Amino acid sequence: MISVRGLTKRYGANTVLDGIDLDIEEGERVAVIGSSGTGKSTLLRCLNFLEKPDEGVIRIGDITVDARTASAADQRRLRRHTSFVFQNYALFANKTALENIAEGLITVRGWPREKAHARARQILSTIGLADRGDSYPAALSGGQQQRVGIGRAMAADAELMLIDEPTSALDPEWIDEVLQLLKKIADARQTMLIVTHEMQFARDIADRVIFMDGGRIVEQGPPARMFKDPADPRTRAFLRKVL
């Protein structure tokens, strides 16, 4: 169970997250939609302190962190319960695909290199890149790089996978392979919070869809209702533009 209460983030006078309350059940896949600048990506980044929230309490598993009093050690413990898939892959350019996947297991979890590399090879096979383990990011397509980024998140075996617009940096030809991999992971009941602008993907993958506007959760519900008959006029206006 993931629980968020009163999550707030400000940049000067600009409030980007305005007291977010959110619960996510184990195995639930939650998609977050909304216009650019509404706080969607900031929400994900605050949940594992890539961005430090100003206020709020976050509970993931047996770890509870209050943003106002969180120490560096508290933040590290929270991060161990999450994994992150970035918009722009965020791979180490000087490491191979295998090394990128294994790095967190070695440096964060303290696994022996041989064990971490064996796990990375398993993941490379799962994501369809068994033959590209020795390739550096520059030699991979955008879709392949994002699959490595997803593989790195899989390696963490985290309670919550945070996925930030995974196709936004991809050429159209690579989008489907990334979405199909994420659907495969979702089918295994990995708990996910996904920010996406791919509405059909959100409809297909999510148990629940959240619409955000102005740093707040405006409306949420099952995809069938959210896309067919949203209750809030702001949700209806957004969906009319994007569908």
Tell me, yes or no, whether 201 lies in a domain: yes
pLDDT value of residue 169: 85
pLDDT value of residue 105: 95
Report the DSSP beta bridge partners of residue 85: 163
Q: Which positions ≥6 away from 23 have C-beta within 8 Å?
A: 1, 2, 3, 4
What one-character-per-residue DSSP string does 110-150 give?
A: ---HHHHHHHHHHHHHHTT-GGGTT--GGGS-HHHHHHHHH
Confidence of residue 194 (pLDDT cuts 50, 70, 90): very high
Number of domains the chain contains: 1
Query: pLDDT per residue over 31-72, tens digit each?
Result: 999 999 999 999 999 999 999 999 999 999 889 999 999 999
Confidence of residue 6 (pLDDT cuts 50, 70, 90): very high
Instruction: Check pLDDT > 90 for residue 243.
Output: no
| Weakest-pLDDT range from 12-21, 119-128, 168-177 | 168-177
From the list 178, 221, 189, 183, the residue with the least C-alpha distance to 205 is 183
Tell me, yes or no, whether 86 lies in a domain: no
pLDDT value of residue 28: 97
Full domain range(s) for residue 219: 1-81+194-243
Tell me, yes or no, whether 49 lies in a domain: yes
Residue 50 CA to residue 43 CA, distance in Å, equals 10
pLDDT value of residue 44: 97
Tell me, yes or no, whether 98 lies in a domain: no
Tell me, yes or no, whether 128 lies in a domain: no
Tell me, yes or no, whether 242 lies in a domain: yes
Quote the Cα angle for 53-55-57, to 5°: 95
Tell me, yes or no, whether 126 lies in a domain: no
Tell me, yes or no, whether 54 lies in a domain: yes
Instruction: Check pLDDT > 90 for residue 75.
Output: yes
Q: Are 100 and 92 a contacting pair, CB within 8 Å?
A: yes
Which CA distances in Å does 240 have to 34, 114, 183, 228?
12, 52, 25, 11
| Weakest-pLDDT range from 39-43, 90-94, 117-121, 172-176 | 172-176
From the list 63, 96, 66, the residue with the least C-alpha distance to 81 is 63
Q: Are 218 and 211 a contacting pair, CB within 8 Å?
A: yes
| Weakest-pLDDT range from 23-27, 170-174, 189-193, 216-220 | 170-174
pTM attached to this predicted model? 0.94
What one-character-per-residue DSSP string does 18-43 give?
A: EEEEEEE-TT-EEEEE--TTSSHHHH
> Domain containing 74 — which CATH number?
3.40.50.300
Question: For the CA atoms of the chain, what is the radius of gyration?
Answer: 18
pLDDT value of residue 37: 92
pLDDT value of residue 114: 97
pLDDT value of residue 1: 84
Q: How many CA atoms lie within 13 A of 227 on its CB side?
A: 19
Confidence of residue 189 (pLDDT cuts 50, 70, 90): very high
Q: Is 48 left (phi over 0), alpha (psi -120 to 50) or beta?
A: alpha
